Structure 1
Amino acid sequence: MTLHAAKAFLHAQAAFALAWLHANVVAWSTLLQAAGGLLALGLTRLLAPRIIRLAMSTVSRLRTTPLARAAEALSRATPWLLLLVLLWFEALGFAANGLPTRLLRLFESLALAWIIIRLSSALVRSPRLARAFAIAAWVIAALNIAGLVGPTAGLLNEMAVTVGTLRLSVLLLLKGTLLLVVLIWAANLLSHWVETRLHRSRDITPAMQVLAAKLTRVTLLTLAVVVALSAVGIDLTAFAVFSGAIGVGVGFGLQKVVSNLISGVILLLDRSIKPGDVIEIEGTYGWITKLNARFVSVVTRDGTEYLIPNEDLITQRVINWSYSNDLVRLHVPFGIGYQSDVREAMRLALEAVAEVERVLETPKPVCLLAGFGDSSVNLELRFWISDPRNGTANVESDVRLLVWESYHRAGIEFPFPQRDLNLRNPEALAPVIAAALADAAKADTAGAPRKTRRSDAAD
């Protein structure tokens, strides 16, 4: 290529670029759209702080965590939402006056993509899922800017597979997945709100609160799936035979799981186990914190949390210390010597147990003469407490300690096992005992010189 031809080519390209700039950038329609975008941005910066303060004051009144999180996310995206609304109204005004709106639509696409990114990052806890929402938002915005949304949707709709009367396309699957995710999120949000409202109600028992919350959650999730499938045009009757076969397989493979689920419903209906109850099962002593669909959470005094299957609470023996009320009677047995004053010991024991703070005055504590042992007079203290959740071994220890101190001050003896040996014919045993003592003395005398010689040799 000669120098003259190169100059001509560059001059032609420059002329084309200037013509494009004059027609698309420097044109009055483009400048008006840019001015409209700047005006919308200025109004957003002016009005957004007031709207944010109003939104944050509303958020502070919400006590429900999911609703508060959603409202807070919306308040953070308020400037972009306001900008999107202003751009939308400007685009309508331009279109009504016959002016082009391509640049305003570009601004709308960018603002909408940024709103989706902000909401997904604030509402979605999973970083991967939030990143997926962000990528999808930017892809849709890019396709909208390039004017390829319609052709892309048509291409995805053509990529389909027909199964009987059911036609599954990529576009249909994408719409169904997106709708299902949104509906499940809304169902979880609504179920959390209903559960919070139920927990605040004092007219409903804790067991019925848990049962109603679980039924609400299952109903909402099932409804979300059904609505999502119906919205994309999938006939639910097509899954009848398939779901029946799966149901038979699930019935055999998940027998224990289903048993725990049904046991959980039974526990909630008969209210034999409810949150806050203090129970004991197979040596595990603690209070119930949660009633779940498959298991019950029991927290012990040492902070260990046991997840006990619901089936075990139905089929095994369970001690519920607070089933009908919180009153629990404890027994502390002990013994005193036979030479001690039993009535005085019983009086001191009652005085000692009255000093323990957790022991109730009514019903009154009693001290009983339980029996006569081999080496002691057996007594038993019986007293009542109303807080078994705080433990029983510690209050029994306090009672024993005070009884110990009281008896030591009063000189009352705590006996230990003793045996008395009575000889019926000591005269017959006297020669045998004397001979044994004599043999022992001779052995000591004979062994002393040898020990001395060994000692001298060692020295």
Structure 2
Amino acid sequence: MLWQILVLAICLGTGAMLARVVRTQIASSDVKARFVRLGVESFARVLSPLLALLFIVIAKSMVEHWIRINLLRIAIPLVGSFALIRFAFYILRRIFARGGGTVGGFVLVFEKVFAVAVWAGVALYVTGWWPDVAQYLDQTVLPIGRNKVSLLTIAQASGSVIVTLVIALWVGAALEERLMRMDSVHSSLRVVMARMVRAILILLAVLLSLSLVGIDLTVLSVFGGALGVGLGLGLQKIVSNYVSGFVILIERSLALGDMVTVDKYTGLVTRINTRYTIVRSLDGVETVIPNEMLLSGAVQNHSLTDRVVRLATRLTVAYRTDIDQALKLLEDAARSVPRVVREPAPQGYLIKFDPDGFELELGFWIADPENGRSSVLSDVNRAIWKALQGAGIDIPYPQREVRILESIPRPDAQHSKEIPLGAR
């Protein structure tokens, strides 16, 4: 027994040390092929139990002629199950929590159920109850229509469907991540390709899982006809939104990072899904806009061909002001703000003659409207105020002069003189 514990400890320790060395080499090496790095990193989390399992199998075959190997026989399914659970958790986190996102409650529950099912299966295998449980599930049948299906068949079918779908989603997530890194391809085209690849993989996974279960794929023609009727009657809006989403992505009329105005909503396009688009306003509020609305209505894209946007501010100066000097001060003040671009250059204009003075306008351009307009307008106005104060130019406030040209007697005073004394 002690020899088995010693051999098991050596195998586990060697596997952990070798896995750590391999991970260190991978992290320090410059792997140019991203798919090679992706394939290696995918098994980094399960590398330690897999190597330990390999060493245990090798040690079992080497020492089985000299010592008892009952403990090693039990350790093989335990370590293998641990590797399977860690690999499944890695795949689920990569699918549903990419980019450092949080994991939803459904994924956490599924992970717990999967872990319990795997450990229960290992316990049944180790105790020798697995054949009896499998026979019981095979003999327990459920009537489904005219046919009878055993619980074992249902469990195998559910397992095959879940496994194929998870593998398809995992491969789709890996391909989507690689496609989104292709800077040479337009962002809209990358999104279209990623969505199409995922849809094709899910379709293939469903067809493969159905064939593994034993369902004849020709029966899908009936389902397709019913689906077509349903789409024609009650799902027109949903289908229209999906089609509109693909049309928008293919036409490239919208892209991630565009500054748009749709109806009364203005903001940055942060996500383009197949059914809706998310627009994040400058105050942080996200609006979910159906894609059909983007395709059928008017959309102002402030950065379709050029991200540079013009802003303007107006002010009034006194009539004694030198206009040329004032306009030059305005333009220099705008140039002093970092967010104002140099080309096109800021330009000052004399708009009109107000009763209080000259009305001037300063037009300038910015290249990052997604960072907000109020802040840059405030910076420009503050720079203008400092420049005018330094030059001694006043900004007049509205005022009026009221002159009384002559004294007019009040009407009640005239009437009072005409009334006799006796009548008072």
Most deviating of 334-343 and 175-184: 334-343
**Residues 196-235 of structure 1: matches in 2 within 5 Å?**
196-235=177-216
Q: Name the counterpart of 1:373.
A: 354
- Cα deviations by residue, 1:311-360 (Å, 9 ceiling, x for unpaired): 33223333222111222222222222334332332222222222222222
**Residues 100-179 of structure 1: matches in 2 within 5 Å?**
106=74, 108-120=76-88, 124=92, 126-145=107-126, 147-160=128-141, 168-179=149-160
Residues 1:146 and 1:131: Cα distance change in structure 2 (over 3 Å): same
Most deviating of 127-136 and 242-251: 242-251
**Residues 237-276 of structure 1: matches in 2 within 5 Å?**
237-276=218-257
The gaps in structure 1 that reach 5 residues or longer are 1-33, 95-99, 440-459
CA RMSD across the alignment: 3.8
- Cα deviations by residue, 1:144-183 (Å, 9 ceiling, x for unpaired): 3455544543443344457678764322221121122222
Residues 1:271 and 1:124: Cα distance change in structure 2 (over 3 Å): closer
Which residue, 396, 410, 416 being the options, matches 2:377?
396
Q: Name the counterpart of 1:75.
A: 47
> Do the aligned residues in 1 keep the contact of 2:43 with 2:87 (CA within 8 Å)?
no
Secondary structure of the residue aligned to 1:324 is coil
Q: Name the counterpart of 1:286.
A: 267
C-alpha distance in 2 between matches for 1:248 and 1:69: 46
Residues 1:411 and 1:57: Cα distance change in structure 2 (over 3 Å): closer
Secondary structure of the residue aligned to 1:290 is strand
Task: State the Cα distance separating 1:60 from its structure 2 match.
Answer: 3.4
Which residue, 60, 67, 71 being the options, matches 2:27?
60
Residues 1:104 and 1:299: Cα distance change in structure 2 (over 3 Å): same
Secondary structure of the residue aligned to 1:189 is helix
> Do the aligned residues in 2 keep the contact of 1:187 with 1:224 (CA within 8 Å)?
yes
Most deviating of 342-351 and 68-77: 68-77
Matched, 1:308 2:280: no
Secondary structure of the residue aligned to 1:177 is helix
**Residues 9-28 of structure 1: matches in 2 within 5 Å?**
none
> 1:78 corresponds to which letter in structure 2?
L
| Aligned sequence identity (%) | 31
Q: Name the counterpart of 1:330.
A: 311
Q: Name the counterpart of 1:432.
A: 409
Task: State the Cα distance separating 1:271 from its structure 2 match.
Answer: 0.9
Which residue, 162, 179, 191 being the options, matches 1:181?
162
- Cα deviations by residue, 1:47-70 (Å, 9 ceiling, x for unpaired): 324431244236637989986774
Most deviating of 169-178 and 35-44: 35-44
C-alpha distance in 2 between matches for 1:153 and 1:408: 90
> Do the aligned residues in 2 keep the contact of 1:288 with 1:299 (CA within 8 Å)?
yes
> 2:44 corresponds to which letter in structure 1?
E
TM score, norm. by length of structure 1: 0.73
C-alpha distance in 2 between matches for 1:417 and 1:393: 25
- Cα deviations by residue, 1:78-115 (Å, 9 ceiling, x for unpaired): 35422553377579x88xxxxx9988755544444444
Task: State the Cα distance separating 1:218 from its structure 2 match.
Answer: 1.3
C-alpha distance in 2 between matches for 1:420 and 1:316: 52
Secondary structure of the residue aligned to 2:185 is coil
Which residue, 279, 284, 298 being the options, matches 1:298?
279
> Do the aligned residues in 2 keep the contact of 1:59 with 1:72 (CA within 8 Å)?
no
Q: Name the counterpart of 1:86.
A: 58
C-alpha distance in 2 between matches for 1:241 and 1:166: 19
> Do the aligned residues in 1 keep the contact of 2:50 with 2:80 (CA within 8 Å)?
no
Structure with a larger share of its residues in helix: 1
> Do the aligned residues in 1 keep the contact of 2:16 with 2:48 (CA within 8 Å)?
no
TM score, norm. by length of structure 2: 0.78
C-alpha distance in 1 between matches for 2:211 and 2:60: 31
Task: State the Cα distance separating 1:266 from its structure 2 match.
Answer: 1.6
C-alpha distance in 1 between matches for 2:141 and 2:204: 27
C-alpha distance in 1 between matches for 2:407 and 2:124: 118
> 1:201 corresponds to which letter in structure 2?
M
> 1:430 corresponds to which letter in structure 2?
S
Task: State the Cα distance separating 1:392 from its structure 2 match.
Answer: 2.0
Choose 1 or 2 for highest CA Rg: 1
Which residue, 392, 401, 406 being the options, matches 2:387?
406
Residues 1:106 and 1:322: Cα distance change in structure 2 (over 3 Å): same
C-alpha distance in 1 between matches for 2:206 and 2:147: 18
Task: State the Cα distance separating 1:228 from its structure 2 match.
Answer: 0.9
Secondary structure of the residue aligned to 1:380 is strand
Paired positions, count? 396
Task: State the Cα distance separating 1:227 from its structure 2 match.
Answer: 0.8
- Cα deviations by residue, 1:118-159 (Å, 9 ceiling, x for unpaired): 544555564432332233223333443455544543443344
Secondary structure of the residue aligned to 1:188 is helix
Matched, 1:321 2:306: no
C-alpha distance in 1 between matches for 2:329 and 2:90: 66
> Do the aligned residues in 2 keep the contact of 1:278 with 1:286 (CA within 8 Å)?
yes
> Do the aligned residues in 2 keep the contact of 1:274 with 1:288 (CA within 8 Å)?
yes
The gaps in structure 2 that reach 5 residues or longer are 94-106, 417-424
C-alpha distance in 2 between matches for 1:398 and 1:112: 63
> Do the aligned residues in 1 keep the contact of 2:11 with 2:56 (CA within 8 Å)?
no
- Cα deviations by residue, 1:265-296 (Å, 9 ceiling, x for unpaired): 12211111111212233444332222222222
C-alpha distance in 1 between matches for 2:286 and 2:279: 6
Secondary structure of the residue aligned to 1:432 is coil
C-alpha distance in 2 between matches for 1:326 and 1:337: 36
C-alpha distance in 2 between matches for 1:353 and 1:131: 60
